[in-house]
Amino acid sequence: MKKVITVLKGDGIGPEIVDEAIKVLGRIAEKYSHEFVYKYVDIGGCAIDKYGVPITDEGMEQCKNCDSVLLGAVGGPKWDNVDPSVRPEKALLAVRHELGLFANLRPTKLFPQLADASPLKQSIIGNGIDLLIVRELTGGIYFGKRNTAEENGEAFASDEMKYYAHEIERIGRVAFESAKKRRGKVSSVDKANVLDSSRLWRKIMHKLGEEYKDVEYEDVLVDNTAMQLIKNPSRFDVVVTENMFGDILSDEASMLTGSIGMMPSASLSEGTLGMYEPIHGSAPDIAGTDMANPLGTILSAAMMLRYSFDMANEADDIENAVNAVLDEGYRTADIMRDGMKKVGCREMGTLVTEKI
């Protein structure tokens, strides 16, 4: 099977971790007689340096005309003071919008081999941590109207948090369908005791709950969710929420596993096109040192095979290979513990590849 993958290596450690994911995908292609064709596009700070914009029109067209997008990371202190209209992160918002990537799936799973890396007590993580955060990605406060002005001699700023019913319904369906393939529970997170947008959110989610009778449903306020993720994370299966809440909660959840470097993510459209990336940043302080953890990117590649290419066996192979390498005690610096075998980014990628 032939698939065209647009590769956005980005900034900082982005090129290093993406190279290891491509190494793993190469082994999958070899084993299963697939053909993966890679089209490389500059994005983020490196694109600003070359072209003056975080992604060119030609680059965006390449993202649109492919089977999937694999992303490393963008940004860094070097570009903190550029014009806000061309900041590196603007490219990510643009890609999400242009590709219709409305659903962000962030699995949070504590690998048993890394249980001692979790900041939570063993008594809390004893039941395991395995949840999926489904974040709405193209609506809400990040895409609402913004205004900075002056009133009565004083500066003020405002950001609009707006949702249409159809936007809520489609992300809700992703959550309920995901729950049917997992443990059958959806926790919908909102702030309905304060926000009108959340009250509409809850109304639409309740209608979906009536439709999906085979899925357990609950409403959880966002502040309570933040507490329960620390107190009792095993109570959650699929957590669905709007853009800003999901941004914050998914980062909180990722730290329950002990390392943000292990966490993959998928951003999906209503078709098969998706963008896959680790949830961590560009880590410019360790760029070029071979210290980065490529496992989040490698696991993102596995999600790409599973969700965009319908290659479940191939995705399983990658995930099993990661588990096997961890079982043998290999660790990058961010997950290193006494008695383990420390390896660099390139060697970790090679070890995973060899296990497939």
Q: State the catalytic residues.
A: 142, 191, 223, 247, 251
Read off φ and ψ for residue 101, nearest 5 degrees.
Answer: -85, 90
Distance of CA 95 to the CA centre of its chain: 14
In angstroms, the CA 296 to CA 18 distance is 10
* CA neighbor of 224 nearest in space, from 199, 249, 250, 254: 249
Q: Is the dihedral of CA 290, 292, 293, 296 positive or negative?
A: negative
3-state secondary structure at position 332: coil
Q: What is the DSSP string of 236-286?
A: -SEEEE-HHHHHHHHHHHHHTTS-GGG-EEEEE-SSS-EEEEESS---GGG
| Residue appearing with tokens 């890394």 | 114
Helix (H) / strand (E) containing 201:
helix 196-211
* CA neighbor of 59 nearest in space, from 11, 6, 15, 14: 6
* CA neighbor of 272 nearest in space, from 99, 111, 152, 71: 99
CA distances from 27 to 8, 21, 126, 322 (A): 20, 10, 35, 14
Name residue 12's amino acid: G
Distance of CA 139 to the CA centre of its chain: 17
